[in-house]
Amino acid sequence: MILRFALVVAIGASITFVLTPLIRAWAIRRGLYDLPEARRVHRIPTPRLGGAAMFAGFMAALGAAVVVPWGVPQMQRFPIESFRLGLLAAGATLMWVVMTIDDLKKLSARFRLIIQILAALIAVGPYLWEWTLHPAVNGVDVGARGIIATAFNTPFPAPFNQINFHTLWPPLAIGFTIFWIVGMTNALNWIDGLDGLAAGVTFIAAIVLAIHTYSLGQYSLVLVPLALAGACLGFLPHNFHPAKIFMGDGGAMVIGYSLAICSIIGGAKLATALLVLGVPLLDGVWMIIWRRVRGAGASVSDRAHLHHRLLDLGLSQRQVVAFYYTVSSLFGSLGLLLPNSWWKLGALAILTSLMIGLLFYLARKQPQAQKSA
């Protein structure tokens, strides 16, 4: 079984690794560069569109996970499971196509948000369809027909040990899932500001989610985050500082979308996802609040993200990236090792407190960092 897991990672990594320099050469011939500017940290024009190689590697690995007859009884896939992976592939494809156009022509922030919501609706569509057409049978496991977070566990005693959106009111499940997918998509896109940052954090998160999924006995679903991990692993050698190519929005938003799906497919793994991705998620929430307080739009481009502030503090790109990797690995490991929800809630509270304290400290120390470029 482990060899089969390794094969999926190898497929995603090898295809991405081989395609990336080919796409880089094509982008150079076409003059498709990210040019240096005030809010960016790179100093020389750097080719973009590396996300195309990541998308190809991820889709190839995901396709192998779906169609290859693995010959292991525990890894045999139910038809509904293959259908849900088809939804993931369809949503990721929509995201990649539109965001690649954005890398080339710069679409409006509002239009990109609409596309993110549409991609999320592809995932929850079967649930929404069933609930709309057959409201009288919503007691059936309708959520199995789509990718949706219908419930999540809490540390409190019964009957409050689980919050079940489906039981309370199905539209809550739909709204929460869309919010989760769109939020995760943007969080990963926002940290794609330093070489190797978004791809490395996604690789760590995907491995953590794969281990968590394995511990739940969902062996066939383990292949999904492993396919994503493989694509990120194949891209990282080309993207470490100094980066030879950037992934662009066509890469960052696809890996964010796919990671969001990995965290809710086969049952929500929200506590683990929040721990391993706590830094980029909290940074994203902070930036939205900070910009609103200052009267700016949530989508404005600036140098007020945590990774920018750490750079302004004097750290190098590699040191900032190592900080993100370390925190994600540490708290992701706690998400796997802590014995119950109370411990995980405590770890999440510690992470939140440390992040808020750090962000406030940096905001006071660098009051000019929030200015738009």
Q: What are phi and psi of 260, to 5 degrees?
A: -60, -45
How far apart CA 86 and CA 92 sit, in angstroms, is 10
How far apart CA 371 and CA 202 sit, in angstroms, is 28
Comparing 12-21, 55-64, 85-94, 304-313, the range with the smallest average pLDDT is 304-313
How far apart CA 29 and CA 295 sit, in angstroms, is 41
How far apart CA 283 and CA 2 sit, in angstroms, is 35
How far apart CA 82 and CA 365 sit, in angstroms, is 51
pLDDT of 323 reads 95
| pLDDT per position as a tens digit, 349-361 | 999 999 989 888 8
- Choose between 173 and 120: higher pLDDT: 120
- HSE-up of residue 347 (Cα within 13 Å, Cβ side): 27
Q: What are phi and psi of 151, to 5 degrees?
A: -160, 155
Are 34 and 43 in contact by the 8 Å Cβ rule? The answer is: no
User: Average pLDDT in the 143-168 region?
Assistant: 68
How far apart CA 78 and CA 185 sit, in angstroms, is 28
Cβ atoms < 10 Å from Cβ of 136: 6
> Is 189 among the annotated ligand-binding positions?
yes
| pLDDT per position as a tens digit, 254-278 | 999 999 999 998 777 888 899 999 9
| Predicted TM-score of the model (pTM) | 0.89
User: Which amino acid is residue 158, in one-letter code?
Assistant: A
> Is 164 among the annotated ligand-binding positions?
no
User: Which amino acid is residue 201, in one-letter code?
Assistant: V
